[in-house]
Amino acid sequence: MASWFRYLLALPKLVTLVREILDLVRHSEELLAGGNNGAAKRALAIAVLGQTVDLAVQLGIPEAKDIDKGKLTSVAGVVIDNLVAVLNSLGIFKHASPA
């Protein structure tokens, strides 16, 4: 019974996670077209990672408790910036990577 209650309590985090992922997908065309919201989408991608870790912790996944969210955020930011730089160099993105 307690495990079901844990899943029920995790439902709002799961809904938030799905909403953020849908938001990223919805705006992917704008990003590829060179829109000016790259920094906002970068922040949203990092928020998705944070929500995923929070959800995993709430669901009791043992590995999730050991994740340093600060380090994850900083490394994810570097990865996103590098990915944008590569896509810019290939001519796929038409905007600069965030500072």
Q: Which of 69, 22, 36 is nearest to 50 (CA)?
A: 69
| Top-confidence residue, 97 or 23 | 23
Predicted confidence at residue 84, as pLDDT, reads 78
Predicted confidence at residue 80, as pLDDT, reads 84
Domain count along the chain: 1
| pLDDT at residue 85 tops 90 | no
- Residue 99 domain-assigned? no
- Residue 9 domain-assigned? yes
- Residue 45 domain-assigned? yes
Range of the domain at 75: 2-89
Predicted confidence at residue 70, as pLDDT, reads 92
- Residue 73 domain-assigned? yes
| Top-confidence residue, 36 or 44 | 44
Query: pTM for this one?
Result: 0.66
